[in-house]
Amino acid sequence: MKIGVNYYPEQWDKVLWKNDITQMAEVGVKVVRLAEFAWSRLEPTEGVYDFGWLDEVIALLEEKGIEVILGTPTNCPPLWLYEKYPDAVMCDEYGNKVTIGIRGHRCYNSPSMIKKTKQIVSKMAEHYGKSKAVVSWQIDNELEAYHCTCEACTEKFRTWLKLKYGSLEQMNKTYGTAMWSGEYSDWSQVKPPMGKQQHWLNPGFLMDHYRFASESMEQFVRLQTACIREFDKTSSITTNMYLGNMTPDFYNTFQDLSYASYDNYPVTVIPDGKEEIYSHAFHLDLTRGIKRKNFCIMEELSGAPGCWMPICRTPKPNMVKGYALQAIARGADLILHFRWRSAMKGAEMFWHGILDHNNVQGRRYQEFRSLCETVHDQLGFLEGTVIKNKVALLFSHEQDNAFKFQQQAQGFHYYSQLKLFHNGVMRTGAGIDIINMTEDLSGYEVIIAPTIYIASQKVVDNLTLFVENGGKLILTNRTGVKDETNACVMENLPGPFAPLVGAYVEEYDALGDSKNIVQMRNGNCYTCSQWADILQEDTAQVLGVYGEDFYKGKAAITQNTYGKGTIYYIGTILERDFYYDFMMEVFRDTTVERMEDLPDGVERSIREDLNHRYMLLFNNTSHIQKINIVDQEPFELQPFDLHVIDLRS
Ligand code: GLA
C-alpha cells in the first residue's frame, strides 16, 4: 500500500523541482503521477518532441526511490494541433466547435486526433517503456462519453447503426419512428442527438447514442493501450474516472486495463441528513466492484476544492488523512493526493493542494505526513488483503442512462435508490459489493437489484439462476419495464421477472413528492414517496400494504419462493429506516456477518487473505463514537479515524 501525490513540474519554475522532490521523499511520498496535461511541453511544435525536462524530473524522483505513474497527455492537445487539425475539436449539441482554451475538447473519433494520439503516446511509450521508475500509465484524464456532433462522429454513428440494424427499415421499426413522422428514408438523415431538449427525441435512438458515445471512448482507451503495450509489456495501465453526467460504461472501459482508479473528492462538510452519510463509501464500493479487486485513488482530497464554484469549506482536522484511510478500508491500495501544491496560476488555483500557495508545511501537510507514516509503517500487514462480501448491489449503466432522458417521477433518481439500499446494509455492519448486473453471482447470498428498468435476457437468466440456487433477491419498482431497445413491453410488470416475483403490477402511481405510507405485516409503518406500484399477489405473500389513497390495503411489498430461493419485491421508495430494518430481516437466516450496536456513520469492513482477517472501523461522522464489541473493552473512535482489529489473534 502506497501514498503519493500528483505533481505538475511543467507548471513550476525548475528551481523548485529538486527541493519539492526532496520534501516529498522526506514526508513519505512513494508514488508521483506526472504529465497528464503536458502535451504542449512534450511536443512544443508538431513532430518535435522534448522529453528532456520530464527525464530530469523522473531522474530526481528515481534518485529518491519514488515511483512514477505517467499520464498520456491526450486530454489537452496543444493549440497548434487544434489550429492545424480543426477536426480534432469536438462539436456541441448545435454542431458548433466547442471553445478551445480549456481542457477536454478533443474528439475521440476525429481522424487527426487519432493519428496525433498514436504518435504522442507511442513516442512516450518508446521513450519511457523501459524506465524502471515508470511503473504505471494513466490514459488521458477523467474520460467522458460525451455526445460529439462533428462530421466524423456522425459518419461513424451511421456505420454503427448500419451494422446493428442492417437496414433503415429495421431501424425505423425498432425505434418506432412512425411516431410523429420520424421515419428515416435515407441514412444521411441520421444525425447525433442535437439541441437541448433531448427528452423530446426518440428514446430508443438516444439509448443507442449513449452506447455509441461510450464505445467511441472505450476505443480511444484501447488505441492508447495498444500504443503503450508495443513498447512496454510490463507496466500496469489504468485511467482515472469520476462520476458525472457523461461517465462512460466503466465496466467496459476498464476491461483491458490493469486496475481501476477513481478521483475521490468527498464533501468537506458532513451533511445533516443521514441519507448521504455513506455516500463516500458507496463510491468506493462502486470502484472496487469495477474489476472486483483492490483499486487506486488517483486523486484524493487534499484541501478545499474551488475554482469553477465558490471555494468549499476547508477539510476539518483528520479529514485529509481520514478519507484516505476510509478508501483503504474499502479496498484502495494506492492513494495519490491532488495535488502537491496549490497552483499559483491558471484556472485551478483555488483547488487546494497539500501545500498552500505560501509553500509552508501547514496543518494539512502535517496530517499528510501522519498518513504516510500510518500507511507505510503501521498498516503494512494489510498488503495483499482483499474484501470478500456475501451481499451485492447490482449496478447498470443502461439503467442510469435511460433515466437521464426519461425521468420516471419527481425526485426519483437511480443513484439515490441504490444508495438507500447501500445505506441500509452499511448500518447493519455487513459488507456490500457493488457490481455489474451481468457478473457471475456465485458466492453471494443476497443480491439487491433495484430498478432493472431495461431487462436483458442475460440479466433475467443470471438472476433466475441465482434464485434457483437458493439466493435471496431483492427487486424493486420500475423493473422489467423495457426491453433492450428501450421500448416498453406489452406485459404485466415486472415483465420477464413476474414468475420470480409471484405478483404483478396492476397499476402504478408516480407519487413524486407526494407521500403515502406502507404498513408492514410486522406492525412497522414507513412513509413512502416517488413511486407506488400497486401490486396484485399471485403466489407471493404480502409483507406490506399501502395505508392511504384509492389503493389503501393493496400490496406494496411482497415475498415469494422460487426454486430454493426467495424474491422480495419492493414497489415503492421508502424512508431511510425501512432499508435498515428490511435488510436485518433479509439477513436473518443467512451467514452474512453483522455488528450489533454499530453507531450510525461508522463503517465496518473486512480485509482478509488466506491467513488473516482484519476488521476495519471508520468513523465518518464529526463526533466521537463509542464502539462496543462483544467480549472487548468499549473504546472511542475519533472523527475520521480508522481502527483495525485482528480477528484471528
Ligand atoms: C479532476 C481532474 C484534475 C483536477 C481536479 C480538481 O479530478 O482530474 O485534473 O482538475 O479535478 O479540479
So what's the pLDDT on residue 199?
A: 83
Q: Are 395 and 435 in contact (CB under 8 A)?
A: yes
Candidate from 17-26, 109-118, 191-200 with smallest mean pLDDT: 191-200
| pLDDT 10s digits, 401-431 | 999 999 999 999 999 999 999 999 999 999 9
User: What domains, with CATH codes, occur in the chain?
Assistant: 2-144+215-264+277-305+332-382 (3.20.20.80), 391-586 (3.40.50.880)
Q: Which atom of ligand 1 is nearest to the CA of 263?
A: 7
The preferred substitution site among 72, 102, 141 for testing ligand 1, maximizing ligand atoms within 8 Å of CB, is 141
| 561/616 Cα distance (integer angstroms) | 35
- DSSP classification of residue 77: -
Tally Cβ neighbours within 10 Å of residue 621.
17
The preferred substitution site among 69, 348, 350 for testing ligand 1, maximizing ligand atoms within 8 Å of CB, is 348
The preferred substitution site among 37, 351, 352, 354 for testing ligand 1, maximizing ligand atoms within 8 Å of CB, is 351
Decide whether any atom of ligand 1 lies within 6 Å of the 295 Cβ. no
Residue, of 7 and 102, whose pLDDT is higher: 7
**pLDDT above 90 covers what percent of the chain?**
95
So what's the pLDDT on residue 196?
A: 85
Which residues are paired to 519 by β-bridges? 525, 545
| 221/108 Cα distance (integer angstroms) | 9
Q: What is the mean pLDDT of residues 112-140?
A: 98
Q: What is the mean pLDDT of residues 271-299?
A: 95
Tell me whether residue 230 is one of the annotated catalytic residues.
Answer: no
So what's the pLDDT on residue 101?
A: 67
Q: Which of 489, 483, 480, 488 is nearest to 569 (CA)?
A: 480
Q: What is the mean pLDDT of residues 478-507?
A: 97
- DSSP classification of residue 101: S
| 380/3 Cα distance (integer angstroms) | 12
Q: Are 1 and 328 in contact (CB under 8 A)?
A: yes
Options 10, 36, 67, 142, the catalytic residue: 142
Measured in Å, residue 359 CA sits from the centre of ligand 1 at 20
| 57/479 Cα distance (integer angstroms) | 54
- DSSP classification of residue 493: B
Q: Are 572 and 477 in contact (CB under 8 A)?
A: yes
So what's the pLDDT on residue 649?
A: 78
Contacts of 526 (CB under 8 A, 6+ apart): 517, 518, 520, 574, 575, 577, 578
User: Cell numbers of 135, please?
Assistant: 511503473
Decide whether any atom of ligand 1 lies within 6 Å of the 242 Cβ. yes
- Is cis: bond before 339, omega within 30 of 0? yes
**pLDDT above 70 covers what percent of the chain?**
100
Measured in Å, residue 142 CA sits from the centre of ligand 1 at 8
Measured in Å, residue 31 CA sits from the centre of ligand 1 at 18
Contacts of 54 (CB under 8 A, 6+ apart): 9, 34, 35, 38, 41, 42
User: Cell numbers of 555, please?
Assistant: 400490496
| 399/353 Cα distance (integer angstroms) | 36
Candidate from 213-227, 267-281, 327-341, 445-459 with smallest mean pLDDT: 267-281
Measured in Å, residue 295 CA sits from the centre of ligand 1 at 18
- Ligand 1, atom 6, lies closest to the CA of 351
So what's the pLDDT on residue 467?
A: 98
CA distances from 356 to 272, 371, 430 (A): 29, 18, 39
Which residues are paired to 528 by β-bridges? 516, 574
- Report the chain's terminal Cα–Cα distance, integer Å: 22
Decide whether any atom of ligand 1 lies within 6 Å of the 103 Cβ. no
Decide whether any atom of ligand 1 lies within 6 Å of the 351 Cβ. yes
Q: Which atom of ligand 1 is nearest to the CA of 265?
A: 7
Q: Which of 320, 310, 308, 262 is nearest to 27 (CA)?
A: 320
Tell me whether residue 142 is one of the annotated catalytic residues.
Answer: yes
User: Cell numbers of 309, please?
Assistant: 464554484
Phi-psi region of 450 (alpha: psi -120 to 50; beta: other; left: phi over 0): beta
| 248/264 Cα distance (integer angstroms) | 17
| pLDDT 10s digits, 222-275 | 999 999 999 999 999 999 999 998 999 999 999 999 999 999 999 999 887 888
Helix axes 319-329, 363-373, angle to 10 degrees: 30
So what's the pLDDT on residue 373?
A: 98
* pLDDT exceeds cutoff 80 at 91: yes
Measured in Å, residue 150 CA sits from the centre of ligand 1 at 26
The phi, psi pair for 22, rounded to 5°, reads -65, -45
DSSP per-residue letters across 231-251:
H-SSSEEE-EE--STT---HH
Measured in Å, residue 347 CA sits from the centre of ligand 1 at 11
Phi-psi region of 470 (alpha: psi -120 to 50; beta: other; left: phi over 0): left
The mean predicted confidence, pLDDT, of the chain is 97
Decide whether any atom of ligand 1 lies within 6 Å of the 140 Cβ. no
Measured in Å, residue 207 CA sits from the centre of ligand 1 at 28
Put simply, whether the predicted model's pTM sits higher than 0.75 gets the answer yes
State the DSSP H helix or E strand holding residue 279, giving kind and residue range, or none if neither: helix 279-291
Phi-psi region of 280 (alpha: psi -120 to 50; beta: other; left: phi over 0): alpha
Q: Which atom of ligand 1 is nearest to the CA of 348?
A: 12
